[in-house]
């Protein structure tokens, strides 16, 4: 029986990429609908009336929103294949903590790197690098955050790799120089089809950032 | 072997109150250690080096941070009693969604009502009322967000009701007028021993905020 899955997304969004990786890990077929965030579809407004944001997964007509919640939902419903969260409650709490850390730090600070200038930009860049180093510390010598296989934190964090080139160009720094282990980890993840097929090309993301800066009048 | 459970706490913190309610619901014995956020203990800095914030639950020496993550952990470990999250994955995703909504909206609006003035404060008041009305809509005619008994969303939201008096006094408005059903729900929650034990009174919260304002 078809699972009747529809994913509403926006192509540069790291949040949408997370969901695509999770769906691919579970071997699920779904229909993807690209949203124009400046002209949101009736379906999006109906399925996520509270936040009106993507991604939204519609499973048999019922919507699930917020990417971290979405990935957990996918992991629970299709629990027979490629488990993403650990089974032990303590390990699960650690995974959730680091996923929450990625959401609190990386996205917002990264956005400040490409959208702001001057002191705000400098402060964001500094904190961004510090945050990446903390994540690198958490990875340690493991091949993945999930251990021997891709796990929840890998799925949540690796889409940010699509944006690294844009951050580097806007911030005039090299993430590989600062965090070589993280880059090695990201490349390792990219060898998995679920990741390589879900992540957007780094140059395309940079093109999107340049376009947005023009639209927003940021030099 | 008996469980060793320690909570690093700050009494007026809505986030810490959530954890206390969850522990009480599960009948877990725990030791509460008060933190002074201007003079954080070595234990706090060791147990939450990333954010250096409370609450932190230390279970048999291992720390768990971030209140909603702690509540989920408590629900999973002490799963013999008072389930907080539904067992159905879809219902669970909805509960997680509303708790996340509460986290995204209330603290920030509340903070601006307390600390800002005039237009910024007015804007924050409107946002808070909109948020609470949306939550009231989600509650509907149910006794609790969790249905017949308290659940995850009830635990996430009810501590903020201790802060309502402070928001109302600083902002000169009435939450009950805008959201009477929510106030009724809050009173219903407080009839549960877990909540009445964990929540501190509205006047205590207000006095805490006044002290903070005096310092600045």
Interface confidence (ipTM) of the complex: 0.95
How distant is the alpha carbon of residue A34 from its chain centre?
A: 17
CA gyration radius, chain B? 17
Q: Which pLDDT belongs to residue B2?
A: 78
Res. A2: pLDDT tops 80: no
Pairing status of strand A5-9 against strand A31-34: parallel
Digit-coded pLDDT (tens) for A33-54: 999 999 999 999 999 999 999 9
- Provide, as residue numbers in chain A, all residues whose Cβ is less than 8 Å from the Cβ of B90: 59, 62, 64, 73
Taking the C-alpha atoms of residue A210 and residue A189, their distance in angstroms, rounded to an integer, is: 27
Give percent of chain B above pLDDT 70: 100
User: Tokens representing B132?
Assistant: 């609470």
Tell me the chain B residues in contact with residue A93 when contact means C-beta distances shorter than 8 Å: 64, 69-70, 72-73
CB pair distance less than 8 Å for A64 and B90 = yes
Pairing of strands B62-65, B56-59: antiparallel
Angstrom distances, CA of residue A174 to CA of A78, A105, A129, A165, B139:
38, 18, 10, 9, 49
Is the pLDDT score of B109 beyond 70?
A: yes
* A25's tokens: 């890990």
Q: For B101, which of A50, A73, A92 is closest by C-beta distance?
A: A50
Residue B204 buriedness (CB in 10 A; 0-12 / 13-18 / 19+): middle
Residue of A4, A15, A19, A50 to mutate, interface with B, max B Cβ within 10 Å: A50
Surface of B (59-78) touching A: CB under 8 A: 59, 62, 64-66, 69-70, 72-73, 76-77
Q: Do A66 and B66 count as a contact with CB atoms less than 8 A apart?
A: no
Name the residue among B209, B135, B142 with its Cα closest to residue B179: B135
Question: Hey, which residues 111-140 in chain A have their CB within 8 Å of chain B?
Answer: 134
- Tell me the mean pLDDT in the region B143-165: 97
Residues of B in contact with A92 (CB under 8 A): 72-73, 76
Chain A nearest-CA residue for B51: A101
Answer whether A92 touches B (CB < 8 Å): yes
Q: Chain A residues with CB inside 8 Å of B102's CB?
A: none
B70 and A101: CB-CB below 8 Å?
Answer: no
Whole-number Å distance between alpha carbons of B94 and A191: 34
Per-residue pLDDT for A17 more than 70? yes
Partner residue opposite A69 with nearest CB, options B59, B76, B97: B97
pLDDT (tens digit, 9 = 90+) per residue, B35-86?
999 999 999 999 999 999 999 999 999 999 999 999 999 999 999 999 999 9
CA distance B64 to chain A (A): 7
B3 at the A interface (CB within 8 A)? no
Q: Of A140, A171, A172, give the one whose Cα is nearest residue A153.
A: A140
Tell me which of B2-6, B20-24, B187-191 is least confident.
Answer: B2-6
Question: A59 vs B90: CB contact, 8 Å cut-off?
Answer: yes
Q: Which of residues 8-67 of B touch A (CB under 8 A)?
A: 50, 59, 62, 64-66
Six token digits for residue A78: 């299709």
Q: Taking the model in full, what pTM does it have?
A: 0.96
Residue B215 is predicted with a pLDDT of 87
Yes or no, beta carbons of B70 and A76 under 8 Å apart: no
Asked if the Cβ–Cβ distance from B92 to A100 is below 8 Å, we say no
What is the tens place of the pLDDT at every residue in A85-126? 999 999 999 999 999 999 999 999 999 999 999 999 999 999
Whether B82 has its CB under 8 Å from any CB of chain A: the answer is no
Helices (H), chain A: 14-25, 42-47, 67-77, 89-101, 107-115, 118-139, 152-157, 161-171, 175-178, 180-190, 193-196, 202-216
Residue A1 clears pLDDT 50, i.e. is over it:
no
């Amino acid at each position: 029986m078809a699972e009747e899955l529809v994913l509403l997304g926006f192509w540069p969004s790291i949040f949408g990429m997370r969901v695509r990786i999770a769906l691919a890990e579970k071997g699920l077929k779904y229909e993807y609908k690209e949203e124009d965030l400046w002209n949101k579809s009736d379906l999006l407004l109906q399925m996520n009336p509270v936040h009106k944001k993507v991604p939204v997964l519609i499973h048999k007509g019922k919507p699930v929103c917020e990417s971290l919640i979405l990935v957990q939902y996918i992991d629970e419903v299709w629990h027979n294949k490629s488990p993403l969260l650990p089974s032990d409650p303590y390990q699960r709490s650690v995974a959730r903590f680091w996923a929450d850390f990625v959401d609190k730090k990386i996205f917002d600070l990264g956005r400040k790197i490409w959208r702001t200038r001057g002191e705000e930009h400098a402060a964001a860049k500094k904190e961004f690098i510090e945050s990446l180093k903390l994540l690198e510390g958490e990875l340690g010598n493991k091949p993945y955050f999930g251990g021997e296989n891709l796990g929840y934190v890998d799925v949540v964090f690796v889409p940010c790799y699509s944006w690294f080139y844009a951050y580097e160009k806007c911030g005039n720094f090299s993430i590989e120089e600062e965090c070589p282990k993280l880059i090695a980890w990201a490349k390792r993840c990219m060898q998995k089809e679920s990741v390589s097929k879900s992540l957007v090309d780094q140059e395309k993301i940079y093109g999107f950032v340049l376009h947005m800066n023009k639209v927003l009048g940021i030099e | 072997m008996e469980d060793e459970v320690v909570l690093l706490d700050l009494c007026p913190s809505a986030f810490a109150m959530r954890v206390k309610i969850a522990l009480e619901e599960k009948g877990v014995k725990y030791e509460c250690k008060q933190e002074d956020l201007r003079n954080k203990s070595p234990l706090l800095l060791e147990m939450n080096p990333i954010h250096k914030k409370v609450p932190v639950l230390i279970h048999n020496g291992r720390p768990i941070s971030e209140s909603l993550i702690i509540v989920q952990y408590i629900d999973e470990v002490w799963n013999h009693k008072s389930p907080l999250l539904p067992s159905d994955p879809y219902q669970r995703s909805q509960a997680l969604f509303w708790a996340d909504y509460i986290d995204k909206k209330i603290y920030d609006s509340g903070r601006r009502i307390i600390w800002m003035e005039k237009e910024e404060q007015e804007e924050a008041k409107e946002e808070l009322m909109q948020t609470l009305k949306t939550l009231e809509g989600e509650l509907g005619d149910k006794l609790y967000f969790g249905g017949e008994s308290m659940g995850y969303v009830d635990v996430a939201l009810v501590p903020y009701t201790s802060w309502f008096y402070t928001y109302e006094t600083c902002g000169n408005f009435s939450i009950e007028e805008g959201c009477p059903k929510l106030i009724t729900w809050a009173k219903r929650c407080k009839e549960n021993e877990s909540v009445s034990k964990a929540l501190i009174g509205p006047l205590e919260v207000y006095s805490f905020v006044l002290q903070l304002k005096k310092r600045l």
